[in-house]
Amino acid sequence: MSKIKVMSENLANKIAAGEVVEKCSSVVKELVENSIDAKSTQIIITLEDGGLHLIKVLDDGIGMDEVDAKLAFQRHATSKIYRDDDLFFIGTLGFRGEALPSIASVSEVELKTCNGDIGTKIHIKGGTLISEEKTDAKKGTSITITNLFYNTPARLKYLKTEQSELANCVSLIEREALAHSNIAFTLINNDHIVVKTSGSGNLHKTIHEIYGLNISNKMLEIKNSCDDFDIYGFVCKPEVLKSNRNHMITIVNDRVVRNNDINRCINDAYYMYKPDSKYPVVVIKIDTDPTLIDVNIHPTKQDIKIAKMDVLSDLLFKTIKNALYKNLLIPDANKDTIELPSTFNEEKNTIVNDKIQENTEEKEYVQTELNLSSIIKEDSEEYDDKKDENIIINKDLKLLELHPIGVIHKTFIVCENEDGMYLVDQHAAHERINYEKVLDAMKDKKIMKTSMLIPITIELSASEFIDIKQNFEFIRNLGFDIDEFGINTVVIKEHPTWLNQGYEEETIRKMIDIILLDKKKFNPVEFNDRLAASMACKMSIKANMDISHDVQVELLKELVQCRNPYNCAHGRPTIIKFSNYDLDKMFKRIMN
């Protein structure tokens, strides 16, 4: 007797449901995408208990006739593609023909639909047709899902709490609303409206309707194109950051996707504008030829493959970077727009430990009276556009005249101008100045070197020595005279003059650590950034350190000339603004 048998269609649908329908939001996603494909202008999603007891999606789309309404629940039945070649020109969100039969196989479904003629009502339970009748339903489609996973208890027990399921559904509808700003979305849970958009077709207005005024006011518009890609959207100022990547929304050909390469590129564009643990809020729409993308790699269709990814990455990076450089990014000291870290209490210990270490380092500086003005002025020069063609210096900030009037806690410089009051972190500001100086010195082809009285020898393991030896030429190009010195040992006899005096060995060891850390994919640009950031931190004015008024003036002059004066090399803000309006409002001089 044969052991191999063809499984029933209902069983196959249940198996497919395990891939397509994972939770309540999976059902909502598939139904809403069908409504979008049906050219709807208004979509209403109604939930009971976050979707655990009822999910209903109502649209005003083109609807279906009686024949199509029944065929829609057959596996692999679709109106989206007909030929093999259609897979290369997918212009709809759904196309597999798996969603409705998979949902119907694990739930109870009631469908009402009409294409402008006589309406059709279908009732299906567990994949079996219970009833079919005519109805006077208006044009469009209404589909109601109840008893989800009633016949698959293993799947049912993995559904989460009402709040978790609701949160997933809300996040989904927010993304779809941003992807399709021309459609009015309404999400209702237990008779309470949770999400509502107007369908105005204005992306910025939709961002305001979803995220609110505080975030929409802090968004920067971006727009650019090349031969293969058109990009448009909004990216946040660095003062608006989140603790996860969930607000990095990318839309490719009107499809919300999660692509690690795109997210990495966006995050890299904010490098030096934010801490590594924070992520920006962005909504970016990417339009391209359908032949350049493959959406048929996962049943949920959330991940895609993109041809010419390097071209897209370069376009995104430059566009976002330029948008940040062109705008004045000094954050306002407004409590409504400042987001405390979600792990604020946990970070207190880290902050305290860093403070102890920082104070220990400062002792070396406090022991002697330093002429910091000469330190700041040494080898300084005004940055101009010729240093990097991709850099656009913020002209508005260069014209800011900040007048220091004092220092708080030997850390924060208080300054003013006609627009209001500013607080400048003296360590972060000086670190930014030194970071850009060191980085430019590392890029300079004319490297000044100095010989060491006592060469530095560093012993490595055999594998580490091989990795470092492969990068000898790169290290020498930076101005270090490095060579082999016995078994698994290197010796450094000369170093560039921009190396911080007193920290030569520590910096060289840090340089080697960075190379070893990135040995699998060594990136010279990232290496220069990390090394320059480490050096800048060591050589900068510290917190709790007295500096004279002349030094404060010089520090502010140098800061506004930087290419990115808003953040230190590690992403912390250097300057915060209290506008005249903020000050008047805080002291109740303005009562609105």
Strand duo 248-252 + 255-257: pairing: antiparallel
Together in a domain, 438 and 404: yes
Together in a domain, 426 and 281: no
Q: What's the CA gap between 586 and 592, in Å, rounded? A: 11
Q: What's the CA gap between 183 and 195, in Å, rounded? A: 13
Together in a domain, 271 and 372: no
Q: Comparing 31-40, 200-209, 278-287, 299-308, which segment has the lowest mean pLDDT? A: 299-308
Which percentage of the chain shows pLDDT scores above 70?
A: 79
Q: What is the pLDDT of residue 376?
A: 38
Together in a domain, 141 and 265: no
Together in a domain, 267 and 374: no
- Does some domain include residue 535? no
- Does some domain include residue 140? yes
Together in a domain, 293 and 413: no
Work out the mean pLDDT of the chain and round it to a whole number. 80
DSSP per residue, 398-438? HT---EEEEEETTTEEEEEETTEEEEEEHHHHHHHHHHHHH
Query: Among residues 146, 162, 196, which one ends one of the domains?
Result: 196
Instruction: Read off the pLDDT band of 296 (50, 70, 90).
Output: low
Tokens of 411: 């850390």
- Residue numbers of the domain that contains 36: 9-196
Tell me the helix, strand and coil percentages in the chain, rounded to 5.
40, 25, 35
- Span 437-484, pLDDT tens digits: 888 888 777 788 888 888 999 998 888 888 888 888 888 888 899 999
Together in a domain, 171 and 78: yes
- Does some domain include residue 354? yes
pLDDT average, residue stretch 511-540? 79
Q: Comparing 92-96, 150-154, 413-417, 445-449, which segment has the lowest mean pLDDT? A: 92-96
Q: Comparing 88-97, 297-306, 326-335, which segment has the lowest mean pLDDT? A: 88-97
- Span 13-54, pLDDT tens digits: 555 555 567 789 989 998 999 899 889 999 999 999 999 999
- Does some domain include residue 47? yes
Establish how many alpha carbons lie within 13 A of residue 237's alpha carbon, considering only the half-sphere containing its beta carbon: 19
Angle formed at CA 537 by CA 536 and CA 538, multiple of 5 degrees: 90
- Does some domain include residue 472? no
Tokens of 169: 């559904």
Q: What is the pLDDT of residue 95?
A: 47
Q: What's the CA gap between 414 and 571, in Å, rounded? A: 21
Specify the CATH number for the domain of residue 19: 3.30.565.10
Instruction: Read off the pLDDT band of 516 (50, 70, 90).
Output: confident
pLDDT at 529 over 90: no
- Does some domain include residue 191? yes
Q: What's the CA gap between 522 and 518, in Å, rounded? A: 5
Q: Which amino acid is at 512?
A: I
Together in a domain, 270 and 352: no
Angle formed at CA 57 by CA 122 and CA 134, multiple of 5 degrees: 25
- Does some domain include residue 560? yes
How many domains does the structure of the chain reveal? Answer: 3
Q: Does the reported pTM lie above 0.85? A: no
- Span 324-342, pLDDT tens digits: 887 877 777 654 443 433 3
Helix and strand counts by DSSP (H, E) for the chain: 20, 24
Q: What is the pLDDT of residue 186?
A: 96
Together in a domain, 72 and 160: yes
Together in a domain, 172 and 243: no
- Does some domain include residue 502? no
pLDDT at 175 over 90: yes
Q: What is the pLDDT of residue 428?
A: 92
Specify the CATH number for the domain of residue 286: 3.30.230.10
pLDDT at 267 over 80: yes
Q: Comparing 77-86, 156-165, 233-242, which segment has the lowest mean pLDDT? A: 77-86
Together in a domain, 233 and 257: yes
Q: Comparing 54-63, 149-158, 438-447, which segment has the lowest mean pLDDT? A: 149-158
Q: What is the pLDDT of residue 385?
A: 38
Q: Which amino acid is at 148?
A: L
Strand order in the sheet with 420-425: 403-408, 412-417, 420-425, 575-579
pLDDT at 380 over 50: no
Query: Among residues 272, 294, 326, which one ends one of the domains?
Result: 326
pLDDT average, residue stretch 217-225? 93
Question: CB neighbours of 581 closer than 8 A, spacing ≥ 6?
Answer: 420, 590
Q: What is the pLDDT of residue 364?
A: 36
Specify the CATH number for the domain of residue 410: 3.30.1540.20
Pick the most confident of 230-234, 300-304, 338-342: 230-234
| CA-based nearest residue to 419, from 321, 298, 332 | 332
| CA-based nearest residue to 283, from 314, 325, 240 | 240
Strand duo 119-125 + 42-48: pairing: unpaired
pLDDT average, residue stretch 148-154? 80
Q: What is the pLDDT of residue 157?
A: 73
Q: What is the pLDDT of residue 5?
A: 66
Q: What is the pLDDT of residue 189?
A: 95
Three-state SS string over 2-55 comes to CCCCCCCHHHHHHHHHHHHCCCHHHHHHHHHHHHHHCCCCEEEEEEEHHHCCEE
Three-state SS string over 379-405 comes to CCCCCCHHHCCCCCCCHHHHCCCCEEE
Q: What's the CA gap between 491 and 456, in Å, rounded? A: 6
Q: Are 559 and 432 in contact (CB under 8 A)?
A: yes
Q: What's the CA gap between 204 and 103, in Å, rounded? A: 34
Together in a domain, 183 and 221: no
- Span 560-582, pLDDT tens digits: 888 888 888 888 889 998 888 88
Q: What is the pLDDT of residue 446?
A: 79
Q: What is the pLDDT of residue 356?
A: 35
DSSP per residue, 504-530? HHHHHHHHHHHHHHTSTT--HHHHHHH
Question: CB neighbours of 109 closer than 8 A, spacing ≥ 6?
Answer: 73, 100, 103, 122, 123, 124, 125, 143, 144, 145
Q: Are 307 and 295 in contact (CB under 8 A)?
A: no
Torsion on CA atoms 442, 446, 452, 457, rounded to nearest 10: 50
